[in-house]
Amino acid sequence: MKLPVGILGATGMVGQNYIRLLENHPWFKVSYIASSPKSTGKSYIDAVKDRWQMPGPIPEQIKNLLVHDANIVTEAVGKCNFVFSALEISKEAIRALENEYAANDIAVISNCSAHRHTEDVPMLIPEINHDHIKIINAQRRNHGWKTGFVAVKPNCSVQSYMTPIFALINAGYEIKRIIITTMQAVSGGGYPGVASLDIVDNIVPFIGGEEEKSELEPLKILGSIKNDKIVPIDSLKISAHCNRVPVVDGHTACVSLEFGAYKPDREEILTLWSEFKSLPQQLDLPSAPRQPIIYADEENRPQPRKDRDNDKAMAVTVGRLRLCNVFDYRFVGLSHNTVRGAAGGGILNAELLVKKGYINP
Amino acid sequence: MKLPVGILGATGMVGQNYIRLLENHPWFKVSYIASSPKSTGKSYIDAVKDRWQMPGPIPEQIKNLLVHDANIVTEAVGKCNFVFSALEISKEAIRALENEYAANDIAVISNCSAHRHTEDVPMLIPEINHDHIKIINAQRRNHGWKTGFVAVKPNCSVQSYMTPIFALINAGYEIKRIIITTMQAVSGGGYPGVASLDIVDNIVPFIGGEEEKSELEPLKILGSIKNDKIVPIDSLKISAHCNRVPVVDGHTACVSLEFGAYKPDREEILTLWSEFKSLPQQLDLPSAPRQPIIYADEENRPQPRKDRDNDKAMAVTVGRLRLCNVFDYRFVGLSHNTVRGAAGGGILNAELLVKKGYINP
Amino acid sequence: MKLPVGILGATGMVGQNYIRLLENHPWFKVSYIASSPKSTGKSYIDAVKDRWQMPGPIPEQIKNLLVHDANIVTEAVGKCNFVFSALEISKEAIRALENEYAANDIAVISNCSAHRHTEDVPMLIPEINHDHIKIINAQRRNHGWKTGFVAVKPNCSVQSYMTPIFALINAGYEIKRIIITTMQAVSGGGYPGVASLDIVDNIVPFIGGEEEKSELEPLKILGSIKNDKIVPIDSLKISAHCNRVPVVDGHTACVSLEFGAYKPDREEILTLWSEFKSLPQQLDLPSAPRQPIIYADEENRPQPRKDRDNDKAMAVTVGRLRLCNVFDYRFVGLSHNTVRGAAGGGILNAELLVKKGYINP
Amino acid sequence: MKLPVGILGATGMVGQNYIRLLENHPWFKVSYIASSPKSTGKSYIDAVKDRWQMPGPIPEQIKNLLVHDANIVTEAVGKCNFVFSALEISKEAIRALENEYAANDIAVISNCSAHRHTEDVPMLIPEINHDHIKIINAQRRNHGWKTGFVAVKPNCSVQSYMTPIFALINAGYEIKRIIITTMQAVSGGGYPGVASLDIVDNIVPFIGGEEEKSELEPLKILGSIKNDKIVPIDSLKISAHCNRVPVVDGHTACVSLEFGAYKPDREEILTLWSEFKSLPQQLDLPSAPRQPIIYADEENRPQPRKDRDNDKAMAVTVGRLRLCNVFDYRFVGLSHNTVRGAAGGGILNAELLVKKGYINP
């Protein structure tokens, strides 16, 4: 018996990815799809039509599902235990709507940025801050919700380097300063998104709002719960340069980092990375990569086309660990932005929350 | 009456660019071409054949020039006043051969890296260190050369950010640390160079030797002449991450920099950049950009395809000047790697050296 | 004294190309720009803003021109002798509006498809059917217009093969059947146009309406004037497969053609192509290529990036002429779609019409 | 118990694809790998090194296999029942070597073009001409071989359109003339293969030898066995234009075809395609696509990135079936060139030959 799950924003790119990745999920089954009012009442295949961007066709069991209006929360009640939110409306509207689902006893696992800095909402990378899920108890008390709640995941590009960085912090090393340059895939811009005239034989050294997210979100992810709030760490400074490049999928990041007083040597870092496992691996969650951090030995890796699909596209692949002329070390990190960085990451969050009893069967 | 000039390595990509850019040069005329022994004795069109990569056809006056053996220096004597060197042999062989041309009274303006760290050889970006040409007098004394000498230009990617950085140093601001990530065009890898399977829907986060060059060469460029040697500055640290991206021409750099005790404000930097002119502009050299540093106001520029050709592809275009979360400022720089960064830069060097009397008509 | 000219649809991609190509035109000067009502009253730089797609900046003399409402025809009166039309509204609206300009004594040189099959409107490729301009006299009589008229140019992809085909027809050879496959650049789709997710590592074997245009328009271009109408030829059948490919500029066409009873041999075709000149060359029009058809000898040419800019991007480059296994001959044709195939072609039309006295100074 | 199989040319691109596709094959297990003498004696991982181009790492069980010299046939004896040949040497050398393996009782399933027009060697697309395997009996008699033989597969691009064409012929319709234009992926050129400077923002309208293969090979595939020879059909004429495009994997073909006296209507063609099954489907061979011909309804499909992986990358996807203005019908066909068109096609051939008793367990 699989858990019935809903998708809000099911016709957009992230929604399509949820549908694709959930097709054969061992625990979950898509039972409810909702979108903006203009698709309401259509079958999914009619609503999405020429905009289906996934490899392979729309899964058979989804084609004829009726698309509901995501704004009418009561329609979802009784049809699904929780929803994945990939809404494409204003932040204010998303916050209100996600809260309303939670108030109606429907847990919300969100891809949206709206609630990322709400103090009692966990922003999860399960390998890093799985213990932040405890804040959900406070969140429920604050709102008077019973079984509903909101949990979010961070921005897609953050996954390309945060797990390897956390593996070092986790071993007791303080990291003080990080300068990052990302080279991000066009799929991160949605569809139609980035115009071909902006990206064929070109790069665009700007992605609206991306640098701010990359500099702020890690501080909350690495934060701790105090007085029923998640308090960001204040000992770390991040500077991010974000670029769009002519790559379909896979965000690459060049990272320079400075340790505090104690610095591991190169061999120790490689060992910390290769041995790093966390709760998703211990719980053997279906979407968890067996090896969360894969180190590529070749001097010219990781590369997006060749490494983005490693371990079901859920692993982070790193390479080129070497001394930095200015800080202590530098390396290159890579993850699949629409799987690990979006729908796949959301599904892993849901798996964790089911396993830990926050979502009831 | 134009000065006759020779090209060593005339059949390679850089050599082809010299031929293209010199086609209508007001001062210089290609009178001698040389290459490896296997092309010797052929006409240029037969030697280069299917490997001609320039837009448009081989210039008419070059097509039937005989290709000489670059190793037989005496063949060049009497046929040209100076040569552009774009040899593709070992560094040791290049050093020896360039010296031999100089010993035969033929000045060598080199694109090669072989002599870049020879202490009495100037490594020139004319807008920055034009005064380094004075070392040529010492070089001639050291070797007993009369009119010959060797001058070189730095690596192609360095031009994308060094002039804007120098404009700030030139105004009296000390810069202590720089972290740079480059996104470099495939033309920088020569022909056939980068395989399409490595770059379509992909990036390669590694270019052999490029990071070392990017970290070392600026120190000499910013150095000063002491006791007949160019002594690199030692107060600056640079860390470079170099990536290959699917762009035909134009190297882009994301730069974070840290000033010393005194820091300009943003407006002052913009003014320093927009007002920056140097000797090539004052001398009105034919290949000098009128505006060496162009600031692009749009939030998503510079972009390689749209900005690489600015001012005859000889300007550096910068943009996105903003505060850095970790250092003081960050910006994006761009220049055309095969023009400003290679053949065009070499020609500008030659123009400077003619105008200042180091190359005799 | 240059002729003042207006541009309708000046903020779109074709409009931007007109502005770029007219910057230093010897006969014409942009004096009037108009667009949709939402840009009305703004300066050009404010109206076009982040959508400027041309290499290099907006020309200085255009930046601050006021953008007029293209729907208010009377505003153009007295400000320009003729207009280039690159409107992006419905065909019906374009037909009505272009007629209204003509009725107000303003000649219209149009890029739009709206009037392409109007019987008294010439659809011009000046090297092929310059004599069709005589229909303008009938057009003026039909409408009671004095100095105004409408002339159009065909679809961009047609230029890549029609001139070489015409050169054979012009020599007396009948051509009966043509099968063409085009590989068209993304700039043909406007901006934002083709989504990057549709074209990075991909091709799209469909362009809406393009095949129909490619099959019909040549018949009118090759037609003749009878009873004050342009009557298409009926002895030719064309089948076109149109594809979008990841190329910025330059439409390539693979052509197989079948002659009537008489067939030239390969040498004769090459001679006909290399010797082909027409009225634009005889009149030495400023935008006319000196050599309208350039044959590339290399077995792997023409290629869009390497050949699109031949002769100011106004020449057609052909190559690979060889026997066809099914028809008689096959070859590859290429032209620059936004220059020869759009704004450059429109400017050449205007030059012809000025020189022949249809546009008055 | 899996059949042990060898791979000749194991370090090249096709060889790598065999290794990747055979990793979890239900019947076959790679037990022997051979390459050119310069790799002999190394482990596979050392021999292939930086040239491994497949997504994901080298399979564990292959990494440490010793690479043998493909020229020393006796080394393979006893180590494998048959070999996949992907040799990259001269045609003459391949013919001799493949024969020598066969003479040593090792069956050869070849990807190479060397034996494609040998009269007693079947060139197989199992869905089309599976009955050609009977010629192997004659081949064995001609050479005096016992269990060895040579069977080949056709050129990669041919698969993109031959199965849909055959489905019509198979239903009794004669096809007289076909004009095809292909747009072929860079992976078809091997590694390093196509230079990035030839394909970024570009297409190359020429692939050496490809048009000849595309025009000749189908005639043999559609031929019949007479007097112990495969005799090509002579009633069909094909003309092929072959282009290289910036796509990683997947060859696309635009096809115009002319029927004989009887022509199916559009609905009948669609039915013939959707109902087409052949021996590989009836035998339920592991690599056989369940649906050999998939028709994509959308007007802009098939597209290489979105359709190449259909049905394990072994199906042909067609679309845009419509009337042709010159011939009878036209359509677009697509298949994955390195799977269906190369290693996957070879494996399907082997599966057929095992099942039909030509390769002994």
The length of chain A in residues reads 361
Q: In chain C, where does the domain assigned CATH 3.40.50.720 lie?
A: 3-155+342-355
Handedness of CA A146, A147, A148, A149 (dihedral sign): positive
- The stretch D4-16 carries a mean pLDDT of 96
- Is residue D205 within 8 A of residue C320, CB to CB? The reply is yes
d(CA C41, CA A190): 33
Q: Which of B80, B112, B156, B242 is catalytic?
A: B156
**Fold (CATH) for A3-155+342-355:** Rossmann fold (3.40.50)
- Select from D203, D192, D246 the least CA-distant residue to C306: D203
DSSP labels, D61-84? HHHTPBEEETT-GGGGTTT-SEEE
The answer to whether A50 faces chain D, any CB pair under 8 Å, is: yes
The DSSP bridge pattern shows strands D293-296 and D224-226 to be unpaired
Would you state the pLDDT for residue A360? 82
- Is residue C98 within 8 A of residue C85, CB to CB? The reply is yes
CB atoms < 10 A from the CB of A42, how many?
A: 15
Range name among D50-59, D147-156, D294-303 with the lowest pLDDT average: D50-59
Those residues whose C-beta lies under 8 Å from the C-beta of residue B270, and which sit 6 or more positions away, are B295, B321
Q: Do B55 and C306 touch (CB under 8 A)?
A: yes
DSSP strand E in chain D: where? 3-8, 28-35, 67-69, 82-85, 107-110, 150-152, 175-184, 224-226, 229-231, 237-244, 251-259, 293-296, 316-323, 329-335
Would you state the pLDDT for residue A55? 83
- Pick from D237, D241, D245: CB nearest C245: D245
The answer to whether A247 faces chain B, any CB pair under 8 Å, is: yes
D51 compared with D152, residue with greater pLDDT: D152
Over residues D146-157, the pLDDT tens digits come to 999 999 999 999
Interface probe with C: pick from D198, D200, D201, most Cβ of C within 10 Å: D201
Chain B: list its partners (3+ Cβ pairs within 8 Å).
A, C, D
- Is residue A62 within 8 A of residue A50, CB to CB? The reply is no
| Tens of pLDDT, residue by residue, chain B (361 residues) | 899 999 999 999 999 999 999 999 999 999 999 999 999 999 999 999 878 888 888 999 999 999 999 999 999 999 999 999 999 999 999 999 999 999 999 999 999 999 999 999 999 999 999 999 999 999 999 999 999 999 999 999 999 999 999 999 999 999 999 999 999 999 999 999 999 999 999 999 999 999 999 999 999 999 999 999 999 999 999 999 999 999 999 999 999 999 999 999 999 999 999 999 999 999 999 999 999 999 998 899 999 999 999 999 999 999 999 999 999 999 999 999 999 999 999 999 999 999 999 998 7
- The stretch D15-30 carries a mean pLDDT of 96
- Reported ipTM: the value is 0.95
The answer to whether A201 faces chain D, any CB pair under 8 Å, is: yes
**3-class state of residue C318 by DSSP:** strand
Show the tokens assigned to D329.
């019908």
Is residue D241 flagged as an active site residue? no
Q: Which of D115, D156, D242, D336 is catalytic?
A: D156
Strand order from edge to edge, sheet including C329-335:
C237-244, C175-184, C251-259, C329-335, C316-323, C293-296
d(CA C100, CA C72): 10
Over residues C129-160, the pLDDT tens digits come to 999 999 999 999 999 999 999 999 999 999 99
Is residue D251 flagged as an active site residue? yes
- Select from A298, A297, A300, A307 the least CA-distant residue to A334: A307
- Is residue B3 within 8 A of residue B359, CB to CB? The reply is yes
Over residues A292-334, the pLDDT tens digits come to 999 998 899 999 999 999 999 999 999 999 999 999 999 999 9
Q: What is the separation of C-alpha C91 from the centre of its chain, rounded to a whole number of angstroms? A: 17
Tokens 């064995």 belong to D140
Local confidence band at A135 (pLDDT 50, 70, 90 cut-offs):
very high
d(CA D66, CA D50): 17
Give C-chain residues touching B248 at CB under 8 angstroms. Answer: 305
Give A-chain residues touching C191 at CB under 8 angstroms. Answer: 195, 197
d(CA D303, CA A268): 46
The answer to whether D60 faces chain A, any CB pair under 8 Å, is: no
Q: Do C194 and A195 touch (CB under 8 A)?
A: yes
> What letter would DSSP give residue A261?
S
Q: In chain A, where does the domain assigned CATH 3.30.360.10 lie?
A: 157-336
Local confidence band at A19 (pLDDT 50, 70, 90 cut-offs):
very high
The answer to whether D50 faces chain A, any CB pair under 8 Å, is: yes
d(CA D162, CA D184): 15
- φ, ψ of residue B167 to 5 degrees: the values are -60, -30
Show the tokens assigned to A22.
């959930």
d(CA A356, CA B13): 61
According to CATH, the superfamily of the domain at D157-336 is: Dihydrodipicolinate Reductase; domain 2 (3.30.360.10)
Give D-chain residues touching A53 at CB under 8 angstroms. Answer: 306
d(CA D14, CA D6): 13
- Is residue B112 within 8 A of residue B87, CB to CB? The reply is yes
Q: Is the peptide bond before C192 cis (omega within 30 degrees of 0)?
A: yes
Over residues C169-210, the pLDDT tens digits come to 999 999 999 999 999 999 999 999 999 999 999 999 999 999
Q: Do B195 and D193 touch (CB under 8 A)?
A: yes
The length of chain D in residues reads 361
Show the tokens assigned to C176.
């009966």
According to CATH, what is the number of the domain C157-335? 3.30.360.10
Q: What is the separation of C-alpha C179 from the centre of its chain, rounded to a whole number of angstroms? A: 21
Interface probe with C: pick from A14, A54, A197, most Cβ of C within 10 Å: A197
Which residue type is seen at A88?
E
Q: Do C203 and D301 touch (CB under 8 A)?
A: no
The answer to whether B16 faces chain D, any CB pair under 8 Å, is: no
**Which CA distances in Å does B50 have to A240, D73, D244?**
43, 39, 17
Q: What is the separation of C-alpha D255 from the centre of its chain, rounded to a whole number of angstroms? A: 19
Local confidence band at D65 (pLDDT 50, 70, 90 cut-offs):
very high
- Select from A286, A294, A353 the least CA-distant residue to A126: A353
